[in-house]
Structure formats: structure tokens, C-alpha cells
Structure 1
Amino acid sequence: MIYLDNSATTKPHPDVLKSFYQVSDTFFANPSSIHQLGGETEKLLLKAKQQAAQLLHVEEDEIIFTSGGTEGNNIAIKGIALEHQNRGKHIITSEIEHPSVYEACKSLEQLGFEITFLPVDQNGVVSVKELEQSIRKDTILISIMHVNNEIGSIQPIKEIGEIAKKHPKLFFHIDYVQGLGKIPLAFANSGIDLCTMSGHKIHGLKGTGILYINKRTKLFPLFHGGEQERSIRSGTENVAGAVAMVKALRLIKERENVEINKMKALRDLLKIELEKIDDIQINSPEAGAPHIMNFSVPGIKPEVMIHILGEQHIYISTKSACSSKQTDESRIVSACGFNQERAKTALRVSLSYENTEEEIRIFLTKLNEAIQQLKEVME
């Protein structure tokens, strides 16, 4: 099997699975229970929070464990909107956000909020100048993703953070789901107030995640109940999931330090070889993330290509797994100014630290064979 759909989800690391099982088996008590086993379970949860904070270089009370990217993004965006709506109802985001940000913002329009969806250039990057000019007196939130999940464009987070710092009454949220473990992001003095992370993109488990919320940031909770997680996310904590998330975070940080150049080399190889195939058009920017390569094969339906490769146990995708079963056209590729045909035929290869050069070369050979085979059928 050659698995090249790591932006959709990654294979869980064996050590992550082991830690989840061990905690589930031994520390199964409710951490809110006042008996000894409940107390031990609570201590483990607090230790996981401390370790996450150390790995991210933030304070432990700035860490909230979540079920992943979609929940983290919704808590951040709607939590800020509902808490600070008396001061303003204007939010700034981009045209190429993940559905969990894009649709969350769209839903707030129904509640009377005004959303500015910033356009992007052909590289999928927002204009810092345009963003700054969009800020108004009633702007309460800027939400911009770090790395785009379909084409791998990297947003100028540092520059946007500097702008955000000039406006202390607004909040700055980052969707860091695709950047985590590939492109480091510093939180200290960054202007970042909220940051979403997901476990299953870093060889962790589905249903695990972290939302960083700096101490000055106040949110309206979407869940009300037993006041767990600083009353921001009430509900019995998933202790085993939290421990597994931190284990995955530790492991991916170690691999990022040692293996990032290897991943970049694989992406470079992929790009160079794809450009040699006449029928392929590259959609990812030159200076994109080291793990995502998006390209189109005009005239060939993506699902047909995915099916052919899948029969040979090679797995790639079209776009975000959260929107892949909806309309054929990629909203992201279209937003970059590419034509409809290109947006309808986009394919995505996404790497992990597990992938090898041999796998990439086999994929390229099989892809080329599939293109030629389909062209002959169409003729």
C-alpha cells in the first residue's frame, strides 16, 4: 500500500495507540470523581496538559483539549463572536479556509455578523495590506489558516500577528491543523490569541485535538455543563485521548526537527516529475508547505483517477475530506483564479514522514500509465 492522503488523516503511531489503550484500561475513572481513582485520573489529565504546554511553549491553563479541528475552530470563532458581539459584529477571514472555518463564519452571517472573505492571489496567499485595510472599529476577530489543506499555501501569519497587536481589542485565530509538525509556529509575543490543532493529522487519533487560548482571551462557551476545561468545554474529559494527543505531539515535534528536509526533498521530487508530464498542471505554489502537492489533469475526472490508483493500492484524494463528497469543483483552486476545468480536475497528494522516495516514484509511474490509459479510452 502507498498512502498519500495524509492531509485527510494519518495512520496512528503504534506508541499513540499503546498510550491510549493503557490509559483507557488503567485510568478509566471520571476525573471529576472525588475518590482516589478519580483523583489519579485527574492528575494524569493535568500532567498531559502540562506536557502539551511545554511542547508548545505556552502556559498550561492556555491549553484546552478538544475532539479535533472542527470543534476547535467552532469554539474559537463562535465563542469570540458571541462573547464580544456587543462591541462589534465584523469578522475577517479568507476565501480558502477549511469548511469548519468557512461554514462557521457563514453561519454567523445568519445571526447578523458581517464577514469579510479576503481574496487570495494565484499562490493562494492573502494580501497583508488588504487585510489591514479591512480592519474596522467593529472588527472583533481575524481567522486565517496557517497552511491550506488543499494546495499547501502558507499564510503570512507573523505579519498578520504584528497587525493584530496594533489592535488590542480584536482577536487573532489560527487554524494550525495542517501546519503542525511541519512548519513551526511560535506563540510568544506573536499576536495569536487562539490556535486550533488536531491529533489525527499528526499520527494521533481521530477525536483528539488542542485549542490554544491565551489568558487574555474570553470566549462564550458553546457547551454548558460541569464546567470542565475552564468552563469552555464542559463534559467528561477524554483523558486517554488527551494523553494520546500529547504523545502524538511529542513524536511529531521530534520528527519535524530531524526529518523535515527529507519531506521537502520528496515534495521537490514530486513537483519536478509531475511537471514533466504534459497533461498535468500544478496548482500548489512554489513556496508551499512541504507535504502537499495539488495538481490538475484537465479532461479526466478525479474520481476515475482515484479509483484506478486505488485498485493498485495507491491512495490520493481530490480536496478536503470534509468537502470531497460535495460539488466537484474545488472552491480553493477556483479562489486562486484558475479556470473551472482546472478546479474540477484537481488532485491532491499529501505526504507524511513515513513516505519514501520509492513510493513516490511508483506513484508517478502508475499515475502516468493511468493518464495514458484514460486518454486512449477517450480518443
Structure 2
Amino acid sequence: MIKPLRLYQIPWSHYCDKVRWALDYKEIPYELVTFNAFGKTKGLERAPKSLRKLTPILEDPNSKDDNSFLSDSTPILLYLDARYPKISKSLLPLSSEQRQQVIDTCVRLDSGLGLYVRRLAYAQMFKEKQSAISLLLGERFSWAYNPDDIRSRLVSPFLASFMIARFRLHRLRDDQVREKTEQILLEIGDRLRKNDYLIGDQFSAADLTFCSLVKPLRWIPYFADDRRFQIIFKYCEGIRRNHDPKYPNIDNFLEKLLENNRIQMKKRQESLFYRVKAFMHQINFLQRFFTAFMVMFMKNFYGPSTDDEEVPLFKPSISENKQANEALNDQRRVNIKSKWSLIKFLCKYQCHLLFTMPRQNLYIESGA
């Protein structure tokens, strides 16, 4: 009898969705545990200290090894396919050549597309429903699961500051994140015009990885409405329909929250009050001048060279064998050593939140 595995996840993470999908596809019993990003997560006290606290994290109580914990999505998929072989539900081709192609594709997508999409998705969320970031505190405070709660609204700007620093959301344009994402999608779109799958002639971990990582782009209008990428979303829809046991119930809580918020916003935009407010905002030249001044100030005072204080959160594994299947990670650690450094940090990233992030969203929407 197989004991249920434990998947430690951030519910809206596309990397966690990737592992969840693999577990369902291979019909492996599992339990979901929400990862506490700002505290201790129950169950992880059993994990070795050497384990990178990088979601998704899988705990396998059936493992005969001393270490039953594993992190990083692609190594987890490879482990599941080796530990729980089932030919009809295999995620890797039998051909050794195609098998390596699938692994290389997964790692490449994890190290590129997955990171770009995450940054774009967080920027979109801050634009539409900034208080939704309070969900990160849900494991500690029940009110955090309600973004409309006054406490969620109050704490969200501070959480947003840390998220902007951690994922360099204020440097989307400098890093050409939108262009890099477009390039990957167009290349894969060209392949899908001639093939049904990314590698070979059957569903594999490469298809699962790509469809999971591209999923948040459905909520970014620039990509969702662009005709060039419709082949991508149509392909992902078909793959999900045929190979994801959870389909069509695949939207997480955050995605449902954003959808409801858009419905409410559409209703508000039809009201006279909203139209008057929008008109007053357009003719408020003093506010527009102040915003333009602050944007210029941010470029000169808080330019890219000031980001050196944030250092990479995770270092690559020393093992060459691990490095081959381990994806890059762009998360950064904030070095706050004193109250004064905390004040400077919050001042800097609150300014980025108020004045830089709107420009980043404009860049995503129109390339400006």
C-alpha cells in the first residue's frame, strides 16, 4: 500500500501546478500542504537542513533512502517517473535520445520561460489586485485569505515591496522580459504548427512543463489577446483536456479571485462616478507633473546599480550531475541588517511600487 506523498506548495505557483499535474497523471496519492513563505511550514521540520526551501517540495514517506525530501519541479518529475514507473503513464519517452531531449527542454523552460512568466504575472497582479499578495500570510492569519479585509489592504504594500525586490519586478523593461517571453512562445508556436507534441509523437514531461508554465499568461491581456499566441493557448487547452485529470477545474484561488475582480471592475467602469473620476484624473496636471518628476527621480536615484544590495537567494548545487537537471532560479535575498536599512529598503521599494511599477505595466501592455 502506497502512503500518500506530501506536496508542499504555493497554491498559485505554476511550478507547483506542474508537480501536482504529474502526481495526478501518474495516479499517485498525495496530500497538499501550503508552504508558509513567512514562517515555519508544518512537516518541513523533518527535512534535512541542506534542502533548499524552494517550492515545490515533495516528501515521499515511501522512500527507502534517508532523504525523503526533494525540491525543484523537474528533478521531482524525474524522481516520480523513476520511483513510480508505469509504462502507460510515463512522462519520459523510451528512447534515450528523446528522453534527454525532454529533460533538457524541461530545464530550459524552467530556467527561462517559467521565470519570465512569474515576473510578468506578479506585475499584472499588483496592477489589478495588489492586496491579493496578502494570501502569502494565509497560513499565519486567516484574514489574509480575504484581500478585501482592511488588514490585507494595509499589509499588502509592504509585502509588495519584498516581492518587487525578490523578483526584480521593477526591472522588467531593463531585462526585456516581455520580448524574451515572446521569442520563446513564437519558437514553440512554429513547432506546434507542424507537430502535436514538443518532443516526439507522444505526451511527455516537456508538454506538461510548458503548459504549466505558460498558464499564468492567460491572465495577461497582452498575451491572451494576441493572435500570434492563440496556437499556444489552443494547444495547452487540448493537452490539459486530454492529459490533466483535474481538467477543467484547474484554476487556483488566486486566478478565481482575479477573474471576480475583473467582473467587478467592469461593472464599476460603467458607472457615472467612475467616468467622472477617470476624467478628473486625466485633467489633473499637477498630479501628472508630480508623477513624471518622480519617475525621472527614480531613474536617476534608484537606478539598476542600486540593486546590488539584493543577492541571489539560492546557489546552484555543487554536484555536476545535479546541475544538469537543476533549473536556474532568479529569486533574490534582501540583506536587512538594521532598522535603518529596513527603513531605506521600504522607502526605496515603496517608491518603485508607486512610480516604477506602473511604467513596467505600461511596458507589458504596449512596449512603451
**TM-score after normalising by structure 1:** 0.32
**TM-score after normalising by structure 2:** 0.32
Larger helix percent: 2
